[in-house]
C-alpha cells in the first residue's frame, strides 16, 4: 500500500513519517514545499505551499491513502487584516483541491488532521466535548477546519473516497513549539509562576498517541467517514501540568497560589483574555467513541509523554 503524507516535515507529519518507517511496510511518499532531506526510501514530490493552485496529480498517482497534516496553523496575534480569508484559502480550498484530485485518482481513504477548535474553545468541568456534538468553532482557524470537514464529507457522499477526520487537542512531544515550549523554558529557568491554584481540567495528547491513532486509521474498516477526538485519556489542571512537567525536567517548580479570580481578572484588564482562558479555562474531550470503534487505547501515559518531551528539550538546551 502506498501512502501520501502532506506536511511531512512538520511537527505531526514528521513524527508520523518516522513511525511509519520503523513500524510498517508501507510505501511512503511525502508532498513537500521545497528541497528537503528525508529518510532513505521515502519518495518525495515537490508541490510547494498548500493552496488552491497546487497540482496534486503526480503526488496522488498510485496512492491508496492520503494523510493530510499540512495546514495554515493557528497564529497568535495574526497581523492579517482578514485572517479568515487566508485560513479558508489554505485550509479549505487547498485541502478540498487535494481531496478532489485524490478522489479522481482512485485514492481509497483521506485522513484529515483537523482540530478540537472545530468543537469550540472551552468546556465546563465534567462536560467534555464528544464527536457527536454540534460544532461551535469561534476563531478563523477553527472555522476553516470545520468548513474543510464539511467539504470533505460532502465529497465522500459524492465519490468513493472514504474520509476520516481526527480532531486532536493540544499536542505535545519532542520538539514542541509555541506555548508549551515557553512553559518548559519558564520551568527550566526556575521562574516563579502565579499558577499554583488553578483547578481547571484540560485534555492533552502526546505526539506518540496521536501518531498511533493516525496509524490505526489507515486501514481500520470502522474508521471510514467518521470523526474521532483524541487525547491521552487523562485530564490535568494547569497546576498539575506544570508540576508534572517540572518533575520530568528534573526541576523544582515554584508556583504561587494566586486565586483564580484574581489571575483571570488581572489578565483581562491587561487585554489578555485569550491567555486567561488558556491558563484557567477547561477544555476536556471524551474519547470513548474513538476507543470503542477502533479498539484503540493511548499507548503511552501523560507522564511518559512529558518525559520524552522534556528529554528532547534538555538535550537541545544543553548543546
Lowest mean pLDDT among 66-80, 226-240, 286-300: 66-80
Provide the percentage of residues in the chain whose pLDDT is more than 90: 82
171, β-bridge pairs = 205
For the segment 147-206, what is each residue's pLDDT rounded down to a tens digit?
Answer: 999 999 999 999 999 999 999 999 999 999 999 999 999 999 999 999 999 999 999 999
Q: Pull the grid cell for residue 179.
A: 506555548
Boundaries of every domain in the chain: 2-174+204-233+284-299
Q: In the predicted model, what is the mean pLDDT of residues 103-112? A: 98
Q: In the predicted model, what is the mean pLDDT of residues 100-105? A: 97
For the segment 25-58, what is each residue's pLDDT rounded down to a tens digit?
Answer: 999 999 998 888 888 889 999 998 899 999 999 9
Lowest mean pLDDT among 66-80, 109-123, 142-156, 207-221: 66-80
Catalytic residues: 141
pLDDT at 275: 85
Q: What fold is seen in the domain 2-174+204-233+284-299? A: Rossmann fold (3.40.50)
273 vs 166: which has the higher pLDDT: 166
108 φ, ψ (degrees, to nearest 5): -85, -40
Q: In the predicted model, what is the mean pLDDT of residues 136-156? A: 97
Nearest CA among 136, 145, 134, 138 for reference residue 168: 145
pLDDT at 76: 53
pLDDT at 257: 94
Q: Over 60: is that where the pLDDT of 251 sits?
A: yes
DSSP assignments along 174-238, one per residue: TT--HHHHHHHHHHHHT--BS-TT----B-EEEHHHHHHHHHHHTT-GGGTTEEEEE--S--B-H
Query: Chain-centre distance of CA 32, in angstroms?
Result: 19
Reported as type and span, the H/E element at residue 270 is none
Q: What is the DSSP letter of 102?
A: H
pLDDT at 224: 97
pLDDT at 314: 96
Residue 267 pLDDT class (50, 70, 90 cuts): confident
pLDDT at 260: 87
DSSP assignments along 108-175, one per residue: -EEEEE--GGGT-S-B-TT--B-TTSPP---SHHHHHHHHHHHHHHHHHHHSS-EEEEEEE-EEE-TT
Q: Report the chain's mean pLDDT, rounded to a whole number.
A: 94
pLDDT at 82: 84
Tell me if 108 sits within 8 A of 217, measured CB to CB.
Answer: no
Query: Chain-centre distance of CA 213, in angstroms?
Result: 12
Amino acid at each position: 500500500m502506498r501512502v501520501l503524507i502532506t506536511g511531512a516535515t512538520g511537527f505531526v507529519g514528521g513524527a508520523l513519517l518516522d513511525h511509519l518507517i520503523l513500524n510498517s511496510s508501507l510505501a511512503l511518499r511525502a508532498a513537500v514545499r521545497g528541497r528537503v532531506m528525508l529518510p532513505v526510501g521515502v519518495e518525495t514530490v515537490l508541490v510547494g505551499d498548500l493552496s488552491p493552485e497546487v497540482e496534486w496529480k503526480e503526488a496522488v498517482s498510485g496512492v491508496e491513502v492520503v494523510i493530510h497534516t499540512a495546514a495554515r496553523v493557528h497564529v497568535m496575534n495574526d497581523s492579517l487584516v482578514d485572517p479568515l480569508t487566508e485560513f479558508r484559502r489554505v485550509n479549505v480550498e487547498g485541502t478540498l483541491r487535494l481531496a478532489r484530485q485524490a478522489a479522481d485518482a482512485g485514492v481509497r481513504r483521506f485522513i484529515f488532521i483537523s482540530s478540537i477548535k472545530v468543537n469550540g474553545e472551552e468546556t465546563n468541568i465534567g462536560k467534555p466535548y464528544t464527536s457527536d456534538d454540534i460544532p461551535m468553532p469561534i476563531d478563523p482557524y477553527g472555522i476553516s477546519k470545520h468548513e474543510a470537514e464539511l467539504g470533505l464529507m460532502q465529497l465522500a457522499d459524492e465519490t468513493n473516497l472514504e474520509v476520516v477526520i481526527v480532531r486532536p487537542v493540544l499536542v505535545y512531544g519532542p520538539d514542541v513549539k509555541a506555548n508549551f515550549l515557553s512553559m518548559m523554558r519558564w520551568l527550566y529557568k526556575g521562574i516563579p509562576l502565579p499558577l499554583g491554584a488553578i483547578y481547571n481540567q484540560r485534555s492533552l495528547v502526546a505526539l506518540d498517541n496521536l501518531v498511533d491513532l493516525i496509524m490505526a486509521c489507515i486501514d481500520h474498516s470502522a474508521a471510514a467517514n467518521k470523526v474521532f477526538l483524541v487525547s491521552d485519556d487523562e485530564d490535568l489542571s494547569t497546576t498539575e501540568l506544570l508540576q508534572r512537567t517540572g518533575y520530568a525536567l528534573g526541576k523544582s517548580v515554584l508556583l504561587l497560589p494566586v486565586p483564580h479570580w484574581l489571575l483571570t481578572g488581572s489578565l483581562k484588564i491587561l487585554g489578555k483574555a485569550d491567555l486567561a482562558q488558556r491558563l484557567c479555562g477547561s477544555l476536556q474531550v471524551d474519547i470513548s467513541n474513538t476507543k470503542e470503534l477502533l479498539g484503540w487505547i493511548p499507548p503511552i501515559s501523560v507522564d511518559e509523554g512529558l518525559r520524552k518531551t522534556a528529554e528532547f528539550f534538555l538535550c537541545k538546551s544543553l548543546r
